[in-house]
């Protein structure tokens, strides 16, 4: 039997033949921090990817749905746009003096004049014809009173027998009211003119229409409106001779509880009393 000798200097420990290896240790708190940070970064990346994919899918679905909108939905959208546009038109528009100068060709087409202002014919770029009433008076206070009387009355009511107020201008150098244009002008031309005459049925229809407009002002508005200047010159006629009450420069608002209003001084045309009085 052969025997093995131990190598001198090694002894019986076989591990002594390898060099010493130093153990590397990481503190527990530092290791925990590294694990937490790595986990958070991984979660954030995953969330980012999910959000990005969802956004792409939503955009694709949106494009597909917009391309495949049914005619009924398109019709509803168009109808709503038209409705909102019509609602916007119901409010008086504030025009600039430059806009009105352009529309009236620098106030060259005179329609008529009265005690409260001068009226000019105008046309906007969209083809709408208007009557622009430039206010004038003895003082700025009188002009402001007339302006507020017209806007606070005819600017807030709508009736087929009341002239429509499209808008106004209240700049430093121009105070004006913009009304719908009435092709046939005022009733007095047909009553007192030599060339223009109306038949009995037309006159009757004009009288009834005017009465409806006045009744609306007196009975159907949230606040009663007293015109104070009803006369043939303030009854305008459209292309079909439909009458519309105009010129609210003397109009006055009063509460619905009141059935009578006391006047302290005369109003309107000297020597003439409106049927309301």
Q: Which residue positions form the known binding site for ATP?
A: 133
Q: Which two tokens stand for residue 120?
A: 């000019």
Q: Among residues 269, 232, 237, which one has the least CA distance to residue 163?
A: 237
Active-site choice (16, 81, 105, 229): 229
**Residues that constitute the known binding site:** 133
Give the integer Cα–Cα distance in Å for 157 and 166: 12
How do beta strands 117-123 and 129-135 pair?
antiparallel
Catalytic residue status for 229: yes
H helix or E strand, kind and range, residue 133: strand 129-135
Whether the CA torsion 267, 271, 276, 277 is positive or negative: it is positive
Question: Which residue is associated with the tokens 């030599």?
Answer: 194
Question: Which residue is associated with the tokens 């087929």?
Answer: 160
How far, in Å, are 88, 98, 135, 146, 181 from residue 170 at the CA level? Answer: 20, 12, 10, 12, 20
Q: Among residues 86, 138, 102, which one has the least CA distance to residue 117?
A: 138
Phi, psi torsion values for 103, nearest 5 degrees: -65, -35
Catalytic residue numbers, as ranges: 229
């Amino acid at each position: 039997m052969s025997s093995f000798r131990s190598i001198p200097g090694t002894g019986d420990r076989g591990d002594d033949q390898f060099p010493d290896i130093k153990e590397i240790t990481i503190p527990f708190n530092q290791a925990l921090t590294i694990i937490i940070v790595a986990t958070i970064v991984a979660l954030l990346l995953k969330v980012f990817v999910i959000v990005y994919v969802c956004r792409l899918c939503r955009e694709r679905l949106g494009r597909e749905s917009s391309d495949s909108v049914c005619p009924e939905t398109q019709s509803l959208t168009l109808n709503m746009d038209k409705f909102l546009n019509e609602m916007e038109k119901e409010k008086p528009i504030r025009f600039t003096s430059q806009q009105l100068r352009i529309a009236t060709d620098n106030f060259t087409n005179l329609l008529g004049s009265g005690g409260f202002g001068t009226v000019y014919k105008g046309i906007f770029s969209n083809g709408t014809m208007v009557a622009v009433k430039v206010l004038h008076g003895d003082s700025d206070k009188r002009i402001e009173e007339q302006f507020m009387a017209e806007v606070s009355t005819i600017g807030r009511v709508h009736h087929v027998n009341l002239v429509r107020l499209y808008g106004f201008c209240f700049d430093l150098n121009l105070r004006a009211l913009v009304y719908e244009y009435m092709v046939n002008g005022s009733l007095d031309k047909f009553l007192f003119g030599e060339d223009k005459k109306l038949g009995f049925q037309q006159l009757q229809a004009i009288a009834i229409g005017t009465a409806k407009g006045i009744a609306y002002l007196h009975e159907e508005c949230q606040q009663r409106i007293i015109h104070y200047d009803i006369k043939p010159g303030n009854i305008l006629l459209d292309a079909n001779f439909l009458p519309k009450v105009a010129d609210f420069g003397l109009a006055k608002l009063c509460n619905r509880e009141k059935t009578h209003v006391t006047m302290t001084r005369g109003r309107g045309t000297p020597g003439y009393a409106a049927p309301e009085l």
